[in-house]
Amino acid sequence: MYDTIKYKGLRKQLIELLKKKGIKDTKVLEVMKSVPRHLFMDPGLINFAYEDNAYPIAADQTISQPYTVAYQTELLQLNKYDKVLEIGTGSGYQTAILLGLTSHVYTVERQNLLFKKTQRLFENLNLRPKKHLFGDGYLGYKKAAPYDRIIVTAASPLIPEVLLNQLKIGGKLVVPLGEKEQFMMRFTRKGINLFDKEKFGRFRFVPLLQNKN
Ligand code: SAH
């Protein structure tokens, strides 16, 4: 578990690329510069860690593309003490980025293999989400609700109503919505039954799955 000058240099180049692609939030860029993405990759793919691409991880899932991670995190507009729920822990990379911005992170993964692998990684890297849970993220995590922010890192075919209802008033949900292709959406809770809806760019995510397999 180490970082090197070479990886630091590659990260710097990646940050420049993210800026060119339109990411502006300096806090998001700073955190992405500091988190070693190679530690979250499959060992065989480590040399590609600072390419702006998604790569396979365990259980047929993927580590999100850095641009996508930056884009979603920027849309979250996370404040320092915000309580945030992440659906789809996957490799834990996006979780690590969230933990660089607030210490109140809850994250849920439904693939047991991936859950266990990432659990060990969090321990080794001393990353401490408030809770790393194994379960169905469609249900959110009611025990710690309501949240200031919710981020979904897999494609949701439908508006996830359960998650909307776990937002605080003023809270925001960022979710890729659609089946084959998704539009990034941001919902802001304006009242008990009142949500603002904004539509952003087009993406491709692995699907959010409701029941096991
Ligand atoms: N943020 C992750 C993205 C992983 S891909 C990363 O950068 O590594 C999406 C993840 O969502 C996968 O790990 C997948 O297993 C998980 N997932 C899919 N459906 C889910 C559900 N219903 N609840 C929780 N996690 C889910």
Tens-digit pLDDT profile for residues 49-60: 999 999 999 888
For residue 212, tell me if it sits in a domain. Answer: no
Report the residue among 72, 107, 109 best suited for mutation to probe ligand 1: largest number of ligand atoms under 8 A from its CB: 109
What pLDDT was estimated at residue 7?
Answer: 96
Segments of the chain scoring below 50 in pLDDT: 213
Report the residue among 61, 94, 114, 174 best suited for mutation to probe ligand 1: largest number of ligand atoms under 8 A from its CB: 61
What pLDDT was estimated at residue 212?
Answer: 54
For residue 69, tell me if it sits in a domain. Answer: yes
Tell me the C-alpha distance between 160 and 173, whole Å.
10
pLDDT tens digits, one per residue of 85-129: 999 999 999 999 999 999 999 999 999 999 999 999 999 999 999
What pLDDT was estimated at residue 213?
Answer: 43
Q: Could you give the count of Cα atoms lying within 13 Å of 23 in the half-sphere of its Cβ?
A: 27
Identify the residue whose C-alpha is closest to ligand 1 atom 15.
111
**Catalytic site residue 103?**
no
Q: Which two tokens stand for residue 195?
A: 């949500």
Ligand 1 atom with the shortest distance to the CA of 62:
5
For residue 20, tell me if it sits in a domain. Answer: no
For residue 44, tell me if it sits in a domain. Answer: no
- What single-letter amino acid sits at 112? N
For residue 28, tell me if it sits in a domain. Answer: no
- b (16+ CB within 10 A) / e for 152-172: bbbbbeeebeebbebbeeebb
Residues with C-beta less than 6 Å from any ligand 1 atom:
61-64, 87-88, 90-91, 93-94, 108-111, 114, 136-138, 153-154, 206, 208-209
For residue 35, tell me if it sits in a domain. Answer: no
What pLDDT was estimated at residue 39?
Answer: 97
Query: Per the omega criterion (within 30 degrees of 0), is the bond before 146 cis?
Result: yes
For residue 30, tell me if it sits in a domain. Answer: no
Q: Which domain holds residue 74?
A: 54-203
For residue 24, tell me if it sits in a domain. Answer: no
Taking the centre of ligand 1 as the mean of its atom positions, its distance from the CA of residue 138, in whole angstroms, is 11
Identify the residue whose C-alpha is closest to ligand 1 atom 2.
90
pTM of the model: 0.97
The neighbour count for residue 4, using CB atoms within 10 Å, is: 10
What pLDDT was estimated at residue 211?
Answer: 64
Number of structural domains found in the chain: 1
Q: What is the CATH number of the domain that holds 143?
A: 3.40.50.150
